[in-house]
Amino acid sequence: MTASVRGTYYLVQEGDTLSYIAEMFYGDKSMWHIIYDANIDVIGPDPNNIEIGMELYIP
Over the stretch 35-55, which tens digit does the pLDDT of each residue have? Answer: 999 999 999 999 999 999 999
Binned at pLDDT 50, 70 and 90, residue 5 comes out as: low
Q: Read off the pTM.
A: 0.87
CA atoms within 13 A on the CB side of 46: 4
Query: What pLDDT is attached to residue 3?
Result: 46
Give Cα 6 distance to the centre of its chain.
14
**DSSP strand pairing (55-58 vs 8-11):** antiparallel
Kindly list the structural domains of the chain, giving each domain's residue range(s) and its CATH number in brackets, ordered by start.
Answer: 8-58 (3.10.350.10)
Q: Which residues lie below 8 Å from residue 53, measured CB to CB, with a gap of 6+? A: 11, 12
